[in-house]
Chain A
Amino acid sequence: MPTSWRARLVDLLYPLGAAALAFVLGALVLAALGVSPVEAYAALLRGAFGTRNALAETLVKATPLLLVGLGICVAFRGQVINIGGEGQMIVGALLATALGLAWPDAPGWLLIPLAMAVAMVGGAVWGGIPGVLKAYYNVNEILSTIMMNAIAVQLMNYLLRGPMIDPVQAQRASQIPQTAALNVAYRLPRWVPTRLHLGAALAVLLAFAVYFWLWRTGWGYRIRAVGYNPHASRYAGIPVKRYTVLALVLSGALAGLAGMVQVYGVNYRMITDGSATGFTGGAGFNGIVAALLGQLHPLGTIPAAVLFGALLVGANAMQRAVQVPSALVTALNGLVVVFVVSSEYFRRRAQRRRLLEQTRATPPAPARGPSPR
């Protein structure tokens, strides 16, 4: 039975309400700390949207969230919980950076797409390992992807402090873990004077591509079918295991691309601060939050990613204005996750009720096979 537009709009209220509730709780925490929530949130909004530059920064931060979030849409639709965005980003970025540094005199039009491909392969492998372990060895992918994150972080710390360190930093006492800068020709074009780069447009294009792929192609249909009902899919002849691996491979590839975009679009080198989220800025986790708020829909993830990008940019302004550490945003993101997954319960209950009313009002429709939503 096709869902009416009105029903879809009503469905949107649940995740939005859940997010709003998270912000109300955040306001209570602020008040308890003796900070005016109104002032804090106002500073946050101004910092995120107040000027053209602020807006551009928000979109810059939203880009990796959207790319990771698109991967999360694919994975979660296939009922695979990929928590490994952090590691997949890192490995993608490491490979893309290594390529750019190893081949410093290629034309940009050749190297940039090549670096994207390499990053996607890196992310795909880092996601594919947990995929194979889940499909063929029955290893819980949540745990394995979390472990793969930790392994990638150590790999990055080792490489950026050792073999890949910027020769200039290697001479200094500070030894900031970063690589040398990439060739200027490799930089993704920018909307001068802001830092908004081509990667943002690419991410939006990919959102439409992923939407089309998931809902208009046989592969996408089968991934969703496997996620919806693996047993029925097996009877229908879908190689479920292969699609489980595919979901994680694609998810990882998109996260890997997010890593490349951070290097080629923002910093022009790979840099970290020694902490686990030093390179990614937590985008591997926050992308999950964005995808959940976007209802695991590639197009819904676009505004959700912008919202969380705004939070990250605004948090810094808030920290300066009212001295609230930006860690508040991490806590808020956590609340959003909890509330959005909980709101599913109320949404499903309302849907059931609506369906009951419809079946009472209209004669039964001819039976159709189950279709994944």
Chain B
Amino acid sequence: MESWGNILLGIAASGIRLATPYLYAAMGETLSQRSGVLNLGVEGQMLMGAFAAFYVAYRTGSAGLGLLAAVGVGLLMGLAMAFVSVHLHAEQGISGIGFYLFGLGLSDLLFQKLLGTVDSVQGVPDAHFPLLSDLPVLGELFFRHNWMVYGAYALVPLVWFVLNKTPWGLMIKAAGENPHAADSLGVSIAKVRYATVTLGGVLSALGGASLSIGLLKIFQQNMTSGLGFIAVALVYFGSWRPVGVLLGALLFSLVNALQLWVQVLGLPIPADFAVMAPYVLTIVVLVLVVQRARPPAALTKPFVRE
């Protein structure tokens, strides 16, 4: 029997690690929603990113090339989503579901056709910081994760800085709150939204890669199983602010970690209910949060110059 201290430490460390895919996807989604586009294709982009990264890493043995492949795939899928929502004014909730089904099917198809069997890759290596990684408790909590974990957390201040301290952030927020005013001041709404949605696609794909070659080192059909949709919900949870999204991601990953440990420890709670918990939590949280926060005024509204 492990001591409770060790178990708690394990839960906390996996909680910190499991927030990674949420953070990549949700930071991208924050940017695109702040500019007025609801990208519901996140789940599909994550799956394609997860597959591309895994496939290339598996064939070449290089995690770096795998990440590059994920970036490329995310770029393409993000551009497609941007084109459909910015230029063709497609209903965003529905086109996103289309991209989800596309990514779900294509990643599965390619996996079966190109690889076929489940195998593992070396993937992104774990960090080793001299001294720090060897610290008791703190070392396991903070300093022995794979490099993609640190990238995810670094994104939070970065996105915060871009949104709040740069002219780009001002343009993004203007496009999402009052596109007509922004347009009359010479901001190209189309360019801003293309940029955020495409970047969102890249980050979602990296989120998928952080799962396939970062955390698990394998690829499986539908391996994200709803993670991408929760990432979209996290943006609502965080009231469209990076720090709020970070707190949401940590809460959810802790619930996930708890759920894994409930299964590992064989506690008398049916595993199905443990798996269900994050989804119930999402709904409860949406009810509570939406009462006090207001989404960007132009969210899901295509921009048409009058």
* A111 on the B face (CB < 8 A): no
Give Cα distance in the complex from A55 to B109, angstroms. Answer: 26
Interchain CB contact (< 8 A) of A325 among B44, B84, B108, B286: B108
Query: Could you tell me how many residues of chain B have their Cβ less than 8 Å away from some Cβ of chain A?
Result: 46
Contact A334 B98 (CB under 8 A): yes
Interchain CB contact (< 8 A) of A33 among B90, B99, B113: B113
Contact A330 B104 (CB under 8 A): yes
Give Cα distance in the complex from A146 to B236, angstroms. Answer: 15
Query: Could you tell me how many residues of chain A have their Cβ less than 8 Å away from some Cβ of chain B?
Result: 48
* A144 on the B face (CB < 8 A): yes
Proximity bits, A152-177, B CB within 8 Å = 1, else 0: 00110110011000000000000000
Give Cα distance in the complex from A328 to B112, angstroms. Answer: 11
Q: Using A138-B290, A332-B105 as known contacts, say yes or no to A338 and B283 having CB atoms under 8 A apart.
A: no
Proximity bits, A182-203, B CB within 8 Å = 1, else 0: 0000000000000000000000
Contact B100 A143 (CB under 8 A): no
* A351 on the B face (CB < 8 A): no
Closest residue of A by beta carbon distance from B276: A154
* A285 on the B face (CB < 8 A): yes
* B97 on the A face (CB < 8 A): yes
For A289, the chain B residues whose CB sits under 8 A away are 101
Most chain A beta-carbon neighbours within 10 Å: one of B90, B236, B280? B90
Q: Using A151-B279, A158-B273, A331-B105 as known contacts, say yes or no to A146 and B229 having CB atoms under 8 A apart.
A: yes
* Stretch of A62-70, A217-225, A341-349, A362-370 that contacts chain B: A341-349
For A33, the chain B residues whose CB sits under 8 A away are 113
* B291 on the A face (CB < 8 A): yes
Interchain CB contact (< 8 A) of B101 among A138, A158, A334: A334
Interchain CB contact (< 8 A) of A143 among B103, B108, B236: B236
Give Cα distance in the complex from A150 to B84, angstroms. Answer: 28
Contact B90 A334 (CB under 8 A): no
* B126 on the A face (CB < 8 A): no
For A180, the chain B residues whose CB sits under 8 A away are none
For A139, the chain B residues whose CB sits under 8 A away are 283, 286-287, 290
Contact B88 A345 (CB under 8 A): yes
* B226 on the A face (CB < 8 A): yes
Q: Using A147-B282, A288-B97, A344-B90 as known contacts, say yes or no to A154 and B272 having CB atoms under 8 A apart.
A: yes
Contact B101 A330 (CB under 8 A): yes
Give Cα distance in the complex from A285 to B44, angstroms. Answer: 14
For B275, the chain A residues whose CB sits under 8 A away are 154
Q: Using A325-B109, A330-B108 as known contacts, say yes or no to A150 and B276 having CB atoms under 8 A apart.
A: yes
Contact A341 B94 (CB under 8 A): yes
Proximity bits, B232-251, A CB within 8 Å = 1, else 0: 11001000000000000000
Contact A144 B286 (CB under 8 A): yes
Proximity bits, B263-284, A CB within 8 Å = 1, else 0: 0000000101101100110110
- List 11 contacting pairs A-B, 8 Å CB cutoff, sorted by A: A140-B236, A143-B232, A146-B229, A147-B279, A147-B282, A275-B222, A330-B105, A334-B103, A334-B106, A335-B98, A344-B91
Across the A-B interface, the 3 shortest Cβ-Cβ residue pairs: A330-B105, A331-B105, A337-B98
**B interface residues (Cβ-Cβ under 8 A, vs A):** 40, 44, 80, 84, 88-91, 93-95, 97-106, 108-109, 112-113, 221-222, 225-226, 229, 232-233, 236, 270, 272-273, 275-276, 279-280, 282-283, 286-287, 290-291
**A interface residues (Cβ-Cβ under 8 A, vs B):** 29, 33, 81, 83, 133, 137-140, 142-144, 146-148, 150-151, 154-155, 157-158, 161-162, 275-276, 285, 288-289, 292, 324-325, 327-339, 341-342, 344-345
- 13 more CB-based (< 8 A) A-B contacts, given A334-B102, A344-B89: A81-B93, A81-B94, A147-B233, A154-B275, A155-B276, A276-B226, A325-B112, A327-B112, A334-B44, A334-B104, A335-B102, A338-B99, A342-B90
